[in-house]
Amino acid sequence: MDFEYSDEQRLLRESVARFITDRYDFEGRLRAMQAPEGWSRDAWSDMADLGLLGLPFSEEDGGFGGGGVETMIVMEELGRGLVLEPYLSTVVLAGGAIRHAASAGQKQARIPRIAAGELLMALAHQEPGGLRHGPDAGSSAERRSDGWVLTGRKIAVLHGATAEEFVVSARTNAGLSLFLVSASAPGVRVIPQRGYDGIPVAEVVLDEVATGNESLLGEDGGGAAVLERVFEEANAALTAEAVGIMADTLDVTVDYLKTRQQFGVPIGSFQALQHRCVDMLIQVEQSRSMAILAALSLSQPPAQRCLNIAAAKVQIGRGGRFVGQQAVQLHGAIGITAEYKVGHAFKRLTAIDALFGDADHHLDQLVAAGGIPPGNRGSN
């Protein structure tokens, strides 16, 4: 694949990398995890100052007009820092639904505030017993003369406890639809939880929540198509985040092998361990290529986009597992402790595989489609 960053994209990458180096070391992540919200408001404000929160939104809507490659650059560097802040939930998921379905008025009321770091949003879609990546929901929305009444229960809502507004999926007579629901609306109950990878999540209960007609996001019954597109963008972003985590994990592992001594020499001098690091590097570079493919595919026709992103998610799921397992084994017992970065990285890679369809799910998609047809693998 012939791919190079533009000058602007290189500057973006350098800017985000500098932010991670200067503001987001591993000790800072541990402190943020111990905070009541589970992440840092100061870091979020810094991300807004860098323009990262408005990056994927169009300039006419108050953003910076970035595309899939720009999001890939940001997510890869955020992955290197194991960033806890709600970029995926607010900018990619809820923000993606706003970009694809909101009216001009709905965008004007939200996108500039998201870009400024003033509005936190979350997508509330997954339900007990349902598939997180499936465009369906059991929650209901009943039309009334002055709006809608929503009833249901959502689980594993990423950064749901600190969200000020939710994009909620619910079924109407027309089909699956999306609604904008304030977290402070009567009948909304939010139960904070914590994912095994350290990311804050929440359960959101909707008990006959009354909303106005303006709460409908997009067309009545058009929610499934919007969610399918948002999930593709989320998987492309997660693929890039995983590449950043894998690359940093490999760097940490190599540094450890250079300093840990046995029999009076660094264990990195043992040929067998060198071979395992080479195998890790191969997985990182294969995953990087697939992350680029996924990012470039976001501007491709739907069928091509779907298969390319599915293939990328397969590689990330399997490659991330391999890199995580090897890193833990090469570090020994320290690799699974809460005080060491490698264990945190492995947990996050495991969570990324599970989000919006794991490797097995996406492999089934590829098998059903007969693989990726020649010529459908993206281009620069």
Residue 87 resides in a domain: yes
Q: Judge if 104 and 154 occupy the same domain.
A: no
**What's the pLDDT at 130?**
74
Select from 120, 138, 160 the last residue of a domain.
120
Q: Judge if 205 and 269 occupy the same domain.
A: no
Global pTM value: 0.94
Residue 379 resides in a domain: no
**What's the pLDDT at 192?**
97
**What's the pLDDT at 3?**
82
Q: Judge if 211 and 230 occupy the same domain.
A: no
Domain residues for 333? 224-368
Q: Judge if 210 and 179 occupy the same domain.
A: yes
Q: Judge if 152 and 229 occupy the same domain.
A: no
Let me know: does 66 contact 233? Beta carbons within 8 Å.
no
Q: Judge if 320 and 341 occupy the same domain.
A: yes
Q: Judge if 326 and 349 occupy the same domain.
A: yes
Number of domains present in the structure of the chain: 3
Q: Judge if 235 and 291 occupy the same domain.
A: yes
pLDDT in tens, the chain (380 residues): 568 899 999 999 999 999 999 988 899 899 999 999 999 999 999 999 999 999 999 999 999 999 999 999 999 999 999 999 999 999 999 999 999 999 999 999 999 999 999 999 999 999 998 766 778 899 999 999 899 999 999 999 999 999 999 999 999 999 999 999 999 999 999 999 999 999 999 999 999 999 999 999 999 999 999 999 999 999 999 999 999 999 999 999 999 999 987 888 888 878 899 999 999 999 999 999 999 999 999 999 999 999 999 999 999 999 999 999 999 999 988 888 888 899 999 999 999 999 999 999 999 989 988 877 665 554 43
Residue 377 resides in a domain: no
Residue 375 resides in a domain: no
Q: Judge if 304 and 231 occupy the same domain.
A: yes
Q: Judge if 36 and 144 occupy the same domain.
A: no
**What's the pLDDT at 134?**
76
Residue 373 resides in a domain: no
Q: 185: domain CATH number? A: 2.40.110.10
